[in-house]
Amino acid sequence: MAHRKLTEKELYRMLDIAASGPLSYISGKDKALMELGLLQWYDEDPSNLSIEWNTSVPFFAKNGRVLEEWYDFKRPDASVC
């Protein structure tokens, strides 16, 4: 399994899938997430063209945030006005 930080678009797609359950596969968006192991085929049937979150790959921390290994949430610098 490959690993890297997600782009913002990938992050939002993952959040949609995790919150909504199985969704239709969108090749342009979902291929990279499949390669990272974050998605799997719904009912393990690629002909169905539906995907779901692969819950065996940790994505959320116990506090509900996305793990920093997948995405860095940077706080705005409070000193900049």
pLDDT digits (tens, 9 = 90+) for 49-63: 999 999 999 999 999
- Structural tokens at position 57: 């790959």
Q: Give the contacts of 81 (CB within 8 A, at least 6 positions apart).
A: none
- Rounded to two decimals, the pTM is 0.81
Query: What whole-number distance in Å separates Cα of residue 81 and Cα of residue 71?
Result: 26
Q: Is the pLDDT of residue 47 over 90?
A: no
Q: Is the pLDDT of residue 81 over 70?
A: no
Position 79 scores a pLDDT of 53
pLDDT in tens, 25-44: 998 889 999 999 999 999 87
Residue 48: pLDDT band by 50, 70, 90 thresholds?
A: confident
